[in-house]
Amino acid sequence: MSYVWTIAEQSKGKLRGVSFELLSRGRKLADKMNTQLCSVLLGSNVSDEALQELIYRGADNVYFIDDPRLENFIVETHSNVLSDLIREYKPHTILAAATSSGRSLMPYVAIQVNTGLTADCTELDIEEGTKHLLQTRPAIGGNIMATIKTPNHDPQMATVRPKSSRPLPEDTGRVGKIIRLSLKDELVDNRVEMIGFRKDLEEFVNIEEAEVVVAGGKGMKKQENFGMLKELAKRFDGVVGASRDAVDRGWLPYPHQIGLSGKTISPKLYICAGISGSIQHLAGIKTSETIIAVNTDPDANIFQLADFGIIGNLFEVIPKLNQRLENYKKEGK
Amino acid sequence: MNIIIPIKQVPETSNVKMDKETGTMIRDGVESVINPLDLYAIELGIQLKEIHGGKVTVCTMGPPSAQKALREAIAMGCDDGILITDRKFAGADTWATSYTLSEAIKNMGSFDLVLAGERATDGDTGQVGPGIAAWLNIPLATYVSHVDEVTNTHITVERLVEEGYQILKMPLPTLLTVVKEVSDPRLPTLRGKKKARATEIPVFSTENMNLNEGSLGLKGSPTKVVKIDYPKVTRGGKMVSANGEEGINAAIDELIKFLEEKELI
């Protein structure tokens, strides 16, 4: 049937935003091959409205395997189920999100169904003639863009970097089918047990899926100074990130770390202060849409990537910027 | 507790400078080091051995020169190193690499735990660890940030996910890929370095492993690189200096204008 599949993600019955980003990617590929786009969701307790939104945002069909045993992501069970679906329906292409679950599930599935997989793609296309999926990803710290294909194996599989594409607008005129499938007992793997979930950080952030990230580095000098960045982030409905230096100093916990040993992000707007820009850090922010940097050193690496750079003292610039944005909000200019 | 840690040798890039014209990194004279994220796995392995006994074996697939990475890991406190090397392994993608590593691990005798860095800083895929678990058909936890409890039969770990930390009780043997939060890597000791120099490193190759030749190296890799581009990453953005009260105000005026143009405010 050679359909294009995207793997939707849910958390506690709610669809996660990446599910819709994947559909906008998948729609382009399906249209190019003149085929259907299916959203595949493994989960539990997802409302009909949520499933319908998958159709409004690009899917032709939704396969929903609804079972309490799929509520929490357990890679062994989820990969058994997905591999079973792949063997049965033989999709042409599968796109999943490069999230903590997508990046665990897909490499496991690639071995189970014996096909290739390309990680963390930022561009996807279909090759004329062969219909192979052309998968482009940054490698070697973002210094090269490699285009990869899987010529002799099916399906064609890639994970896609969150925030590297925008969801399609909701089109309530779109019609599609919601197909509910039941979970086969033999696919449930009980070896691993989820015994809890911890979320005890005051502000647990998901910097990979934020539209705006405001980050600080060594130049912030101390933890208390991150207050001004939090304020700035709040003005953009964004979140606060940090360089490795700042995390190593204990100013922010590890989930905030941006760069090769932390998170790779592609926000709409990235603002950073007191970050000089190590190769590792730059690799983590290279695909950001707009980058604004504040640093005292005009030769700092970070300025080479900046769309707008301010050479100056962040302790003077950031508070002034906050004040200015406050006035801007009040006066609308 | 027998622990196996597959590691990778990668270019040392932490102090690398960028080419001002192109914004690409200057790779001349770049040294090879243990993948920084693998150090967290090594440290965790050594700590678990110190508490629970057993031994830690590091292995790496790469050219013969990669044994330097194994000796560094032994100098930190690992017991043994195994070099997995063969011309036929060259050019392997994550599928073929995880196949070869899983076969090598099967040849190392019984084990309780495989520990790996979440990803390597050069390839940056994070796919080899999960791939090994799938080949070995053992449970997998990725992004492990903390080990809560270890018993004779189970290990309880926390994995960092988008919304918090998922707590999983895993039966042994199992494979964990770890992130930085899991440990603080120690430095090699003088005694460790001495031991590392004296340790014999066995070599695994197609000659002493029973491998499916069609699954090895470039030839056995499902994915093929068809094109490499060197994007000019320098953005040539607008630069303003913010000196003194007036300078700062002017710079912020410009920035506000920029944000308006980009429709970001």
Per-residue pLDDT of chain A (333 residues; tens, 9 = 90+): 589 999 999 988 899 999 999 999 999 999 999 999 999 999 999 999 999 999 999 999 999 999 999 999 999 999 999 999 999 999 999 999 999 999 999 999 999 999 999 999 999 999 999 999 999 998 877 778 899 999 999 999 999 999 888 899 999 999 999 999 999 999 999 999 999 999 866 566 789 989 999 999 999 999 999 999 999 999 999 999 999 999 999 999 999 999 988 999 999 999 999 999 988 899 899 989 999 999 999 999 999 999 999 999 999 999 999 999 999 998 876
The secondary structure element, H or E, covering residue A204 is: none
Count H helices and E strands in chain B, helices first: 6, 13
Bridge partners for A308 per DSSP? A292, B238
Identify which of B125, B158, B235 has the shortest CB distance to residue A305. B235
Q: What is the CA radius of gyration of chain A?
A: 21
Residues 74-133 of B with CB under 8 A from A: 93-95, 98-99, 121-131, 133
Q: Where are the alpha helices (DSSP H) in B4-93?
A: 36-52, 67-76
Same-fold call for A4-187 versus A207-331: yes
The secondary structure element, H or E, covering residue B11 is: strand B9-11
Identify which of A116, A119, A309 has the shortest CB distance to residue B237. A309
Cα A203 to Cα A215: distance, rounded to the nearest angstrom: 15
B192 and chain A in contact, CB less than 8 A: no
Task: Give the orientation angle of helix A102-112 with respect to helix A75-89, to 10 degrees.
Answer: 50
Q: Mean pLDDT for each 10-residue chunk of chain B (265 residues)?
A: 97 70 68 95 98 98 96 98 97 97 97 97 93 98 98 97 95 98 96 97 98 97 92 87 95 97 95
The superfamily in CATH containing domain A207-331 is: TPP-binding domain (3.40.50.1220)
Cβ atoms within 10 Å, residue B209: 14
Looking at the complex, report in whole angstroms how far the Cα of residue B199 sits from the nearest Cα belonging to chain A. Answer: 30
A278 is in an annotated binding site: yes
* Residue pLDDT, tens place only, A10-35: 988 899 999 999 999 999 999 999 99
Cα B252 to Cα A322: distance, rounded to the nearest angstrom: 10
Q: What residue type is assigned to position A120 of the chain?
A: D
Q: What share of chain B is helix, strand, coil (3-state, %, to 5)?
A: 35, 30, 40
> Could you tell me the sign of the dihedral formed by the alpha carbons of A118, A123, A124, A129, in that order?
negative
Q: How long is chain A?
A: 333
Bridge partners for A62 per DSSP? A39, A178
- Note whether B46 and B57 are within 8 A (CB): no
- Note whether B10 and B221 are within 8 A (CB): no
Identify which of A79, A119, A321 has the shortest CB distance to residue B126. A119
Give the side-chain half-sphere CA count within 13 A for A107.
33
Three-state helix/strand/coil letters over A84-119: HHHHHHCCCEEEEECCCCHHHHHHHHHHHCCCCCEE
Task: Give the orientation angle of helix A48-56 with respect to helix A18-32, to 10 degrees.
Answer: 40
- Note whether A257 and A251 are within 8 A (CB): no
* Residue pLDDT, tens place only, A196-241: 999 866 566 789 989 999 999 999 999 999 999 999 999 999 999 9
- Note whether A40 and A178 are within 8 A (CB): no
Task: Give the orientation angle of helix B67-76 with respect to helix B190-198, to 10 degrees.
Answer: 140
* Integer angstrom CA distances of residue A154 from A63, A150, A151, A223, B219: 20, 8, 8, 50, 17
Q: Which residues of A touch B255 (CB under 8 A)?
A: 292, 308, 310, 321
The domain ranges of chain B are 2-215, 235-265
A74 is in an annotated binding site: no
Task: Give the orientation angle of helix A314-331 with respect to helix A226-235, to 10 degrees.
Answer: 30
The pLDDT score that the predictor gives to residue A131 is: 95
A4-187, what's its fold? Rossmann fold (3.40.50)
B20 and chain A in contact, CB less than 8 A: yes
Q: The complex's ipTM?
A: 0.92
Cα B182 to Cα B46: distance, rounded to the nearest angstrom: 12
Q: CB B248 to CB A317 under 8 A?
A: yes
Structure tokens at B233: 């990453």
The domain ranges of chain A are 4-187, 207-331
* Integer angstrom CA distances of residue B57 from A40, A43, B50, B211, B242: 40, 39, 14, 21, 55
Q: CB A312 to CB B230 under 8 A?
A: no
Q: Is B210 left (phi over 0), alpha (psi -120 to 50) or beta?
A: beta
Using the 8-state DSSP alphabet, how is residue B93 labeled?
-
Q: What is the largest CA-CA distance in chain B?
A: 73
CATH class of the B2-215 domain in this structure: alpha beta
